[in-house]
Structure 1
Amino acid sequence: MPQTILIVEDDAEIARFTQQLLEKEGFACLHSRDGLDAVRQSQVHQPSLIILDWMLPGIDGLEACTRIRKLAGTHDPYILMLTAKGEEFDRVIGLSTGADDYLVKPFSPMELVARVRALLRRSLRQEAQSQVYRTLHFTVDLDRHVATQQIHNTTEDLDLTTTEFDLLATFLSHPGRAWSRAYLVEKLWGNDFFGEERVVDTHVARLRKKIELDPSQPQFIKTVVGMGYKFADEG
């Protein structure tokens, strides 16, 4: 069965071009013209990946992304945000809503296909694994795609995006190891990622907000100056 991609784009010409490009690559494609319909189709069809335009009628791509991430159920698609905005500030906003990657218009067909394949390869790598990582306060079950935190003898499920889950799993796989931003980019997005290494900082900041008592003084995810991050859970 081909993996399904939902293309959310109100420009008919761009949507048609993108759909034809991806169908030639063997993907099954759905199309939505506005943000509200994108949320509905995501829930009904459960695509593997969503290509989500930033500027849409009704609700914009940022709000659509936020709502998709809040949908009930275990399915959590990868989201590739398309935007004509080139400033880094705008990209960070897009990623902070739960997008896994971004691509600035105009984009080359080869780059779009490479980004899509890089994201979908992550899901294939996860499916091939059967692993549970545990530390003193955290458990990540890759089979069930469940992450929990144990605090004061109480176990709580963590509400993480796909990228946050992958990031926490990576940290728990080798507690105490220092990870460079470059290695984390390759681990999470693949070696054909075209973006900036600092994209890792955005996802680390979002993960810290969900697992740290005080994200400004993190207990678990430590910054390694001049390199990246390490995970410490020593009690």
Structure 2
Amino acid sequence: MSPAPDPSPRPPSAPRVPAELRPVGDDEAPEHDDVLREVAVSWTGAGRVDARGVRIVGGRVEQADLAGARLPLLDLEDVVIAGGSLANADLRDATWRRVEVRGARLTGVRLTDARLDEVTFRDCRIDLAALSGARLRRVIFTDCLLRGCDLQDLQGEDLRLESCDLREADLTGARFSRTELQACPLDGVRSLERLRGVGMRWEDVLASAGAFAGHLGIRLTDG
């Protein structure tokens, strides 16, 4: 008999970023369908940035202030995003491949219908974000705030969440395969049944017993 398939999520590959990068600042603000290769981006235009279909290949986005920016169809390949803000940015229909995001603020970011393939989020605020209809493959979230996120109809494959706050997230219609949660609070999560088949440690199941009981309508007694 052939061995059973490993249910553990496959980890993402690290971005391949060249050692030498060309600086790109506010004097080179993005325009529609721009393609930027081997660049170190430090835009601070925030809400003034409005460009559709921008593509960055092999680069870094460092301490950029893109809060409220409009960058739909943002295409990132082999990119590191370090610090800065994408809060309330419009990134719908984005496509990301081999991307690492660390220490960034993405509160309220719009990633609806995005395609994220081999992406790592570490120590990020992603609360109140919209990822409805997104497809995530080989994605890791570590030490991230995901409270109140809209994850409706999200498709997650090879997904791992470690020490992430998922309270009050909406999982309506979400689907997961080869997915694991570790030390992730689930209080107030909508449609908890969508976690069927997800891997969790026994101690995490016990810690979330109140959330599961509330979702199932179980009445607790003193006896």
| Structure of greater Rg | 2
**Higher strand proportion:** 2
Q: TM-score, normalised by structure 2?
A: 0.31
Q: TM-score, normalised by structure 1?
A: 0.30
**Higher helix proportion:** 1
